[in-house]
Structure 1
Amino acid sequence: MKLRGVEAGGLGIESGKHAASIVGGREGVLHGARSLVLQTDDGQIRETHSVSAGLDYPGVGPEHAYLHETGRARYVSRTDAEALEGFQLLSRTEGIIPALEPAHAIADLPHIRDDHGADTDVLVCLSGRGDKDLDTVMERLA
């Protein structure tokens, strides 16, 4: 079994406006814990951006940092626009309104298919409720 985590790519890693602590961060200390953190060259915590309020955070827990460091899990990022596409995809095809947090993982499914083939079984954890995000989604898609 392969583990894959999807982080909030915001407006893109290159833009600096994201919340992808593993993909775009480096080792540092946040709230007394050493982990992967979005920070300046001076070690100051950077502002983050994500369409998902639940992912808009400059650090990641030590378990995810460990899974990344050991290679047990692979982490990628998906942008706000991709997350909104994932939100729409699941809503239209399955009638399930996902929260914006797991919508990032749903947006990654076509990439997994391209990497591993259409016959690959994939399990996506759908945390939260999407109805809380409807105002944000409607505003962004208007």
Structure 2
Amino acid sequence: MAKNPGPVVRYLSEKLLDAIPEFTELEPFRDKNLNNWRMNGAYSFHSATSKSFKLVVNSREYAAVIFADAQHLLNHASEHRAHVLDNSLTTEPSPSWTFVSLYYFSLFIAMAWSRVSNNAVLYLDKDAIKEFCGTVVGLPGGGAFRCQDRPGYIRV
């Protein structure tokens, strides 16, 4: 690592320290991600508005899932980076696949950074929201949500 990290690295490091409590077991398992956590994680409904909802969570479990998810996304990004670099050295009849790989490389990097900065962006449809919140009245509709861990709960 560089002796003097840039402002982006310093900012993300602070956010990561806020999101991952001390003594959290961090293991980058392939099946640990936010989607699986939604189905099998330790959380309970706290409150909801028409635009967001809050869950009571186990902060260490949630942090471990965020870490593993970011690692998995960075692995995907590395595969696309390798494809882009390999295509730059060879002649391919169509540049479309290189463009698609560059797009997914950028997407996976952005998604990993959103997890590391404690601002994971998720798309949740109505069924996914019902899984989180149960049959509460006045839940938000489906769409893109930002997941932020706060002491004792996450705000989605």
TM-score with structure 1 length normalisation?
A: 0.28
Higher helix share: 2
TM-score by length of 2: 0.26
